[in-house]
Amino acid sequence: MEFSRRVFVGGAVTTLAGVTASAVIAAPGKKVLPVAEVAPPKAPATPKAADMPPLLKEALAALDRHDRRVGQRDRIGLVDFTEHSSKKRFQLVDVASGQIIGSYLVAHGRGSDPGHTGWVKRLSNRPGSNASSCGSFVIANRYYGKHGASRRLMGLDPENNLALERAIVIHGASYVDSSLIHSQGQIGRSLGCFSVEQSEIAAVLDKLGEGRLLYASDARA
């Protein structure tokens, strides 16, 4: 049985007519050469719901819930406040594949950990509480403040809707550093902001740009 097929040669598309399943019909006296099968490109892997960590499931549900407020859906930030501050509990995730593309240390607020244990004890949305809050945030504009390059956050849920009023932002800080884990067993605390290492802030702000979702959770809350 004869058929026509398209093959890519040096970037150009060529149609070969009179091709059998295994060879090209050659001119008299010429050697018959086999035709290589061209495998179709693989589609990006899509994570199955059963394979997703619970926090990612929560974040994707929040992404759908706030679809009118979150304009960019390619990447999201996840913060797991059930983890100790010595852990890299801030993850950047590619939404299409479910793959982690960055992991970072992140501080929680002093008001969430008055005894400086490294564990979040409480959450608050109250101005002046110096505590962390959970829920869905949309990344807002980039600016330069006393901590250098930063990004503002707008809270989308009742438990964090005062984030902009409270000046809760993403910024770099000297009290977030892996060297502190070796000497103190934990990193420092913020005033409620999502503070990361100064060496990582540029990457975080670039990858988690304006219009994307930051989702913070404490499953115990």
58/30 same-domain check: no
Question: Distance between CA atoms of 76 and 100, rounded to whole angstroms?
Answer: 10
Does one domain contain both 11 and 57?
A: no
More confident residue, 130 or 36: 130
CATH number of the domain residue 121 falls in? 2.40.440.10
Average pLDDT over residues 148-156: 97
Q: What is the pLDDT of residue 219?
A: 74
Per-residue confidence (pLDDT) for residue 185, from 0 to 100? 97
The mean pLDDT value of the chain amounts to: 84
Regarding whether 190 and 104 lie in a shared domain, the answer is yes
148 and 81 both lie in a single domain: yes
State the pLDDT confidence band at 53, using cuts at 50, 70 and 90: confident
Count structural domains, the chain.
2
The residue ranking higher by pLDDT, 168 or 16, is 168
pLDDT: is 140 or 35 the higher one? Answer: 140
- Round to whole Å and give the CA distance between 27 and 25: 7
Q: List helix spans (H) across the chain.
A: 54-65, 178-184, 201-207
**How many angstroms separate the Cα of 19 from the Cα of each of 2, 23, 80, 115?**
6, 6, 57, 76
Q: What is the pLDDT of residue 6?
A: 37
Specify whether 58 is located in the same domain as 162.
Answer: yes
Residue 27 is part of which domain span?
A: 1-41
> Is a pLDDT exceeding 80 seen at residue 220?
no
- Cβ proximity of 32 and 24 under 8 Å: yes
Which residues are within 8 A (CB) of 49 and not within 5 positions of it... i.e. 6 or more apart?
Answer: 57
Range name among 25-34, 155-164, 192-201 with the lowest pLDDT average: 25-34
Give yes or no: residues 136 and 195 share one domain.
Answer: yes
- pTM as predicted: 0.77
Q: Does 114 share its domain with 207?
A: yes
Tens-place pLDDT, residues 76-123: 999 999 999 999 999 999 999 999 999 999 999 999 999 999 999 999
Residue 167 reports pLDDT greater than 90: yes
